[in-house]
């Protein structure tokens, strides 16, 4: 059974690109278009890793991360913040419960090593 990655990203084009690459690397993908949907999809699908955009509608990625971390069984699921705001949000992302932060635009050449690092 392949590992499951939840992509929480409000831009459909970015989600599509990420989904294509992550599936190409052999992982199953679940998608969410806003922070509340990310929380709901995490509960429904129990992903092995979450790529969480920080700036999303309804519920931002930091608040969504905090809610996911409060759920039973999600304390050790890696959550990687994804942001166009750069490393200035690193401390906030870690304090919210993220394990790491990667910058947008995503360097797709570096996405596979990040997935391997957190999914083994």
Q: Give the pLDDT score at 118.
A: 95
State how many domains the chain has.
1
Token duo for residue 69: 């971390």
CATH number of residue 65's parent domain: 3.40.50.2300
Q: What are the DSSP calls for 55-120, one per residue?
A: S-SSS-HHHHHHHHHTSTT-SSS-EEEEESSGGGGHHHHHHHT-SEEEESSP-HHHHHHHHHHHH-
What are the distances in angstroms from CA 90 to CA 18, 23, 78, 80, 95? 21, 27, 15, 10, 9
Range of the domain at 25: 4-119
Q: Per-residue pLDDT tens for 86-98?
A: 777 889 999 999 9
> Directed axis angle between helix 35-45 and helix 61-69, to 10°?
30
Residue 51 CA to residue 8 CA, distance in Å, equals 6
Q: Give the pLDDT score at 71.
A: 94
The residue whose two tokens read 């959550």 is 79
pLDDT in tens, the chain (120 residues): 689 999 999 999 999 999 999 999 999 999 999 999 999 999 999 999 999 999 999 999 999 999 999 999 999 999 999 988 877 788 999 999 999 999 888 877 878 899 999 998
pTM of this prediction exceeds 0.85: yes
Q: Give the pLDDT score at 1.
A: 65
């Amino acid at each position: 059974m392949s590992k499951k990655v939840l992509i929480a990203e409000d831009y459909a084009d970015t989600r599509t690109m990420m989904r294509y690459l992550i599936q190409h690397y052999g992982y199953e993908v679940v998608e969410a278009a806003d922070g509340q949907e990310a929380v709901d999809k995490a509960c429904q699908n129990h992903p092995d890793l979450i790529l969480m955009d920080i700036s999303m509608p309804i519920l931002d990625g930091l608040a969504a991360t905090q809610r996911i971390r409060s759920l039973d069984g999600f304390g050790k699921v890696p959550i990687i913040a994804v942001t166009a705001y750069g490393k200035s949000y690193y401390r906030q992302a870690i304090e919210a419960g993220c394990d790491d932060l990667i910058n947008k635009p995503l360097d797709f050449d570096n996405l596979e090593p990040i997935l391997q690092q957190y999914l083994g």
